[in-house]
Amino acid sequence: MTTTTPAAAASPPLSWNFYGRDPEDLQITADPGPGPRALTPAAEAGRGIRVCVVDSGVEPDHPLVGPLDGSWAAVKDEDGEIRIVPSTRGDVCGHGTACASIIRRAAPGVSLHSVRVLGARFSGSGEILVAGLRWAVRQRFDVINLSLSTTRTRFAEELHALADEAYFARTVIVASAHNTPVESFPWRFASVISVGSHGEDDPELYLYNPAPPVEFFAPGQNVTVGWLRGTTIRTTGNSFATPYVAGLCARILSEHPGMTTFQLKNALYLAAANVRLVDSDPGR
C-alpha cells in the first residue's frame, strides 16, 4: 500500500495587525451569495464540489452512491504511526455508505471521496478519527461530512484547532451532534456546521436552531439510505441528518464557489424554513 502525502497547502503568513499596509492591498471580490441566478438543475447539483465522508468507508458503485472518486483509510502501523492509505475495502459497517447515499441524493453532481476512520482496533480510535479528519482538511476538500464525534476530552483541543484550520481554509466540516445529551466533539465548535435530527416527514425540511450549539436540524428519522452490498435500510439518528446538510452546502458552494464558510453558514441560516427576514419597511 502507498502512503499518501497530504497536499502541501501554502499557508499565508499570519497577521496580527494591519500596520504599514494599504487598504488597497486588501481588496476582496466577494461572492454575493444566493440571489436571482438560476440554480443548477437538480441532476447536476453540487457539480464541481469535492465532498469527503469521514466514516466507516463507503461502498463504491452502490446504486444510491454511484462512483467514488477516492477511497482511503486511516490505519495505525506497528510503530503506532497513523497513515492514510488507499483502500479498496469499502465499508466495514454500512454507516458511511448511508451518509454518502444521502449526500448523493441531495447533491447528485458532487465528487465523492471517503476516508475510513473506523474498523481498526479500539485502542487509538480517537487518534485515528483525528488523523483522518486532519488528512481530509489538508486535502482541501470543499465539504467534509463527519457523522461521528468523540467523547474523549483529550482530543477536544486538537479537534478544535483542526476545525478552525478548516474554517479558515474554506473547508466546511458538517458534523453530527451526538444522539444523546453528552459532551462530544467536534460538533460543539462554532467553526463547524453542526446538525441534529428533526422528526418531521418532509425530506427537504431543515431548520435553524436558535439555541445552539446544534445549529441546524434536518431529516434524520426513518430515512431510507444505502447500506452494504447495494441494499437499502431505513434508519434514524443525527448521523443521517448531517449528510443532508452537507449536500446542501455542496449545492450552494457549487453555485457560489467563492463563498467563505461564514457566508455559507449565513446562507443556510437565511434559507432555513423557520427563519423569516424582518421587514425593514413594514408600512410599504
Q: Which stretches of the chain bind another protein, using CB under 8 A?
A: 56, 92-95, 118-123, 125, 148-153, 178-180, 184, 197, 199, 220-222, 227-229, 231-237, 239
Which is nearer to another protein, 6 or 199 (by Cβ)?
A: 199
Helix (H, G, I), strand (E, B) or coil at 111: strand
Beta-bridge partner residues of 224: 234
CB atoms within 10 A of CB 277: 6
- Phi, psi (degrees; rounded to nearest 5) at 204: -115, 0
Residue carrying C-alpha cell 483541543: 157
Which is nearer to another protein, 154 or 284 (by Cβ)?
A: 154
CB of 222 to another protein, least distance (A): 5
Nearest-10 crossing angle of helices 125-138, 156-168: 10
Helix (H, G, I), strand (E, B) or coil at 137: helix
CB of 100 to another protein, least distance (A): 15
- Phi, psi (degrees; rounded to nearest 5) at 60: -70, 145
Which is nearer to another protein, 156 or 271 (by Cβ)?
A: 156
Half-sphere exposure of 45 (CA within 13 A, CB side): 19
Which is nearer to another protein, 131 or 253 (by Cβ)?
A: 131
Which is nearer to another protein, 165 or 200 (by Cβ)?
A: 200
CB of 64 to another protein, least distance (A): 13
For the chain, give the longest Cα–Cα distance. Answer: 71
CB of 97 to another protein, least distance (A): 9
CB of 198 to another protein, least distance (A): 9
